[in-house]
Amino acid sequence: MSENAIVKLQQLQDYRFDNQFADVAQPLQTDEPAPLGGGSGPSPSQLLAAAVANCLTASLLFAARKFRVALEPLSCEANAVVDRNERNRLRVQRIDVVLRAGQPVAVAANLERLLGSFEDFCTVSQSVAQGIPVHVTVLDADGAVLKPPA
């Protein structure tokens, strides 16, 4: 399966843009945080973290359903850690992702196999991880660590 992700941007004012996605009726408005922008929408760094988080969550959901392991409803939090590089330029240094199952997870058949494979099928996180470290933790609803970050 081949899929191109086409986005068209239109400047609205200053650093605020409408992002029009192919086959999506409603545009998404983005903005830089203050003091550069007005913070009226997600920033590019937040969009990057959201893309990684969404893809990983969907991949975990697909694997859980495939292996018949009850994890739903899933939630996720991602943090794109931004800091200055050696040239004093702001860069995303890493993305920390915590996925949480919506219920306690006892020992389940195929759980280890599921947790060992779902990341490999995530198009976005695997692509981003070629240049930015992505650290993934999976917890159950009680906070038990099912998969620590590698």
Residue 119 corresponds to which amino acid?
E
Strand partners of residue 96: 79, 135
* CB distance 78 to 49 below 8 Å: yes
Q: What is the 3-state secondary structure (H, E, C) of 104-119?
A: CCCCCCCHHHHHHHHH
Global confidence as pTM: 0.92
Q: What is the DSSP string of 79-142?
A: EEEEEE-TTS-EEEEEEEEEEE-SS-----TTHHHHHHHGGGG-HHHHHHTTTS-EEEEEE-TT
Residue-level pLDDT, tens digit, the chain, 150 residues: 557 889 999 999 999 999 999 889 999 999 999 999 999 999 999 999 999 999 999 999 999 999 999 999 999 999 999 999 999 999 999 999 999 999 998 777 889 999 999 999 999 999 999 999 999 999 999 999 999 998
DSSP 150: -
Tell me whether residue 96 is exposed, middle or buried, using C-beta atoms within 10 angstroms of its C-beta: 0 to 12, 13 to 18, 19 or more: middle
| Dihedral sign from CA coordinates of 104, 109, 110, 112 | positive
Phi, then psi, of 82 in degrees rounded to 5: -110, 130
**Which pair of tokens denotes residue 134?**
């992505």
